[in-house]
Structure 1
Amino acid sequence: MCTNYTPATPNHLLPMTELGPLTWPVETWPAETYPGYLAPILTAQQGAAGTRVSLARFGLVPRWCRDTAHAATVGRGTYNARCETVQEKPSFRSAWRERCFALVPMLNYFEPCWETGRAVRWRVEAADGKPLLAAALHECWIQPDTGQAVHSFSLLTANADSHALLNRLHRPGDEKRQLRLLGASEGFVWLRQPADQALSWLDRQPGVALIGQAAPLRSDPQGTLPF
């Protein structure tokens, strides 16, 4: 699972011309992302060949949530979506069926390594130093009492038992999971996939070469915005 990552900035993504013209939000976001925090996501620009960048909360809030308290509870458990069950799970199936596909741009993400016998936070990043683009789902929930729209997202994950780096991470005995990472050209195509072909298309993608190293947790991540 991925619960913490470093979001990319406009300067990191503008060179990725394969994504088409980027439309950016004017708001800012935290320097690190945890469930419930705001972070940028990329979605297909409606009626155009470009890509829209907007802010959304990490932890998908399904449209059937009853109220704000219910949404907060559900959102704390939906920050990752398993590719094996995403089409059937009540929290994700509507977003999948309606092709609410997104990319989450990040410089790196963090996972625990237990090889020393205790959890040591590791930083995982692209071997070529480029930003990572993680396949994701997004959703828009309307608060019943205020009418305010809450935009949220979940990162797609798959089994990583055979991954040379990622199978070293997480607690011994736990299933190893990995983000579905794409290059810029593949990311552009992902945003426009038909729902009935998207999973098989993801399975055919080569992924991204990764490296990892120990990265102790900062005592006070900057600019946190809890849900």
Structure 2
Amino acid sequence: MCSNYDPVLDKTKLRTHFGVEDLPPDLKPRLWPGYVGPFIRKHEFADVGDEAVPKHELMVGSFGLIPHWAKDEKIARQTYNARSETVHEKPSFRDAWRLARHCIIPAEAIFEPDWRSGKCTPTRIVRTDGKPMGIAGLWTGWKQPNGEVLRSFTMLTVNADDHAFMRSYHKPDDEKRMVVILQDEEYDAWLSASPDESRYFLRQFPSELMATD
């Protein structure tokens, strides 16, 4: 599970690796649930046939999915990760899953707790090839009391009990989990996938491509 991470805020990296532009200013360099950060979705007009319309668009939203029925945004503190095994049935996530509101969360690094010393040591995890992570997620919109819509997103996770790298993190007796890190060539397909096609992408990232920093 991932409760904090470093988002990609470098415009060149966002353009090169994710094909998006126009990053808003003043975003925090490390995000926790409830903080606002960038995510990438399929452009809402990508299918109109206009070559001038980009395939992807960069949005900002709350880290932690806020479903339309939520009374306030505090629910984001519990909805920053969605278990792939139950995402289709959990009230907080099932509508976004059913509507295939897929997104990619661009991350320089994620943080996980290492308990092997007997105490919690926050550990920064990166890709060994130096590329940013494209984490598979879901997004939605929530109407605030003032009438404005606040977008939000969550990271999808899978079991990692048998993962050579991620099984070393979290408490010894806890289930080991990891966020779904997409392969670079899967970005377009993930953003366009139907609900029936979505589970193909929900798998572990190769352990040899992950390292501490």
> Partners of 1:203 and 1:90 in 2: how far apart?
20
Matches within 5 A, 1:187-226: 187-199=187-199, 201-203=200-202, 207=206, 209-213=209-213
> Partners of 2:198 and 2:109 in 1: how far apart?
24
> Partners of 2:203 and 2:152 in 1: how far apart?
27
> Partners of 1:56 and 1:203 in 2: how far apart?
22
**1:168-217 deviation digits (Å, cap 9, x = unpaired):** 01011000001100122211210000111201x2146865721125xxxx
Select which of 42, 45, 57 maps to 2:40: 42
> Partners of 1:164 and 1:104 in 2: how far apart?
24
Task: Name the residue aligned to 1:86.
Answer: 87
The change in CA–CA distance for 1:175 and 1:204 in structure 2 (over 3 A counts) is: closer
Q: Is the 8 A contact 2:14 2:21 kept in 1?
A: no
**1:85-110 deviation digits (Å, cap 9, x = unpaired):** 00000000000111110000000011
The change in CA–CA distance for 1:117 and 1:204 in structure 2 (over 3 A counts) is: closer
TM-score, structure 2 as length reference: 0.90
The percentage of counterpart residues that share the same residue type is 35
Deviation at 1:26, TM superposition (A): 3.0
> Partners of 1:54 and 1:203 in 2: how far apart?
23
Matches within 5 A, 1:97-112: 97-112=98-113
Q: Which amino acid aligns with 1:6?
A: D
Unaligned 5+ runs, structure 2: 47-53
The change in CA–CA distance for 1:81 and 1:204 in structure 2 (over 3 A counts) is: closer
**1:98-130 deviation digits (Å, cap 9, x = unpaired):** 111000000001111011111111111101010
What SS does structure 2 have at the residue aligned with 1:116? coil
> Partners of 2:114 and 2:95 in 1: how far apart?
34
Q: Is the 8 A contact 1:181 1:207 kept in 2?
A: no
Greater shift, 6-15 or 99-108, is seen at 6-15
Q: Which has the higher contact order (CA 8 A, sep 6+)?
A: 1
Q: Count the aligned residue pairs.
A: 204
RMSD: 1.6
> Partners of 1:28 and 1:188 in 2: how far apart?
28
Asked if 1:173 corresponds to 2:173, the answer is yes
> Partners of 1:163 and 1:124 in 2: how far apart?
14
Q: Is the 8 A contact 2:158 2:202 kept in 1?
A: no
> Partners of 2:106 and 2:113 in 1: how far apart?
21
TM-score, structure 1 as length reference: 0.85
Task: Name the residue aligned to 1:164.
Answer: 164
> Partners of 1:118 and 1:47 in 2: how far apart?
49
Q: Which amino acid aligns with 1:42?
A: I
Greater shift, 102-111 or 183-192, is seen at 183-192
The change in CA–CA distance for 1:105 and 1:82 in structure 2 (over 3 A counts) is: same
> Partners of 1:211 and 1:42 in 2: how far apart?
24
